[in-house]
Amino acid sequence: MTSSKELKKQLRKEALGRRDSLDEFWRVEVALEMAETARDHLDVEPGQVVSGFWPMRSEVDIRPLMFALREKGARLCLPAILDKTTIVFRELVRGAPMVEMGFGTVGPHEEAAMLDPSMMLVPLAAFDACGHRIGYGAGYYDRAIARLVDKGTTPRLIGIAFDCQEVALVPDEDHDVIIPEILTESGLRRFAPQL
């Protein structure tokens, strides 16, 4: 019998393989379309803190999307890896120094303000039609979201992916965070809450 961990590892590998095989020029066009979708369908209040992420490998490049949200008044932040278990979110401002964070990504320098996002654009490797997500296996986002909830903040979570990353069923574990919305090239999908 295959364990949940082994099955997630296999699903992650297959979904990332499909994502890696996408044409890179098509991915650029899709990133721009997703920015338009965000501009038209994601409401943000002036000053609302939104966390994004610096794309790595073949991830959706959400920098145009983040720019669209900033144009609507959002205050942006990016994850900063502190250690093997912890990420925090540092403010992203024009002209501020960026540093390497590992995993081929960058983030704001440690002098940047730490913020608690009320909307999070969440990277993922795979997802299913119930909003279950497979991350990259380190659990950074699950722990960061749990910390925010413990502080009394329940951020709006929006997964960011390509349609090809959808799988039939993600094994659900107690510590996994369900992502109620996923933005792909097909648009913004909302999933019914689990009862």
pLDDT at 83 over 70: yes
Give the residue among 142, 190, 150 at the shortest CA–CA distance from 42. 190
Numbered residues of the known binding site:
8-12, 59, 133-141
Residue scoring higher pLDDT (29 or 95) = 29
d(CA 72, CA 36): 12
Q: What is the mean pLDDT of residues 20-41?
A: 95
Q: Using one digit for the tens of pLDDT, what is the confidence trace for 102-141? A: 777 888 988 999 999 999 999 999 999 999 999 987 888 9
The predicted pLDDT at position 1 comes to 57
Numbered residues of the known binding site for ATP:
8-12, 133-141
Residue scoring higher pLDDT (62 or 96) = 62
Numbered residues of the known binding site for substrate:
59
DSSP-assigned states of every residue in 87-99: EEEEE--TT--EE
> Pairing between strand 49-51 and 119-123?
parallel
Q: Which domains does the chain possess?
A: 4-190 (3.40.50.10420)
Which residues, including other chains, have CB under 8 Å from residue 174's CB and lie 6 or more apart?
none
Task: Judge residue 111's burial from the number of C-beta atoms within 10 Å of its C-beta, 0-12 exposed, 13-18 middle, 19 or more buried.
Answer: exposed
The predicted pLDDT at position 92 comes to 96
pLDDT at 97 over 90: no
Q: Using one digit for the tens of pLDDT, what is the confidence trace for 148-161? A: 999 998 999 999 99
Give the residue among 59, 55, 58, 57 at the shortest CA–CA distance from 78. 55
Residue owning tokens 């994502």: 19
Which residues, including other chains, have CB under 8 Å from residue 26's CB and lie 6 or more apart?
none
Residue owning tokens 């497979």: 134
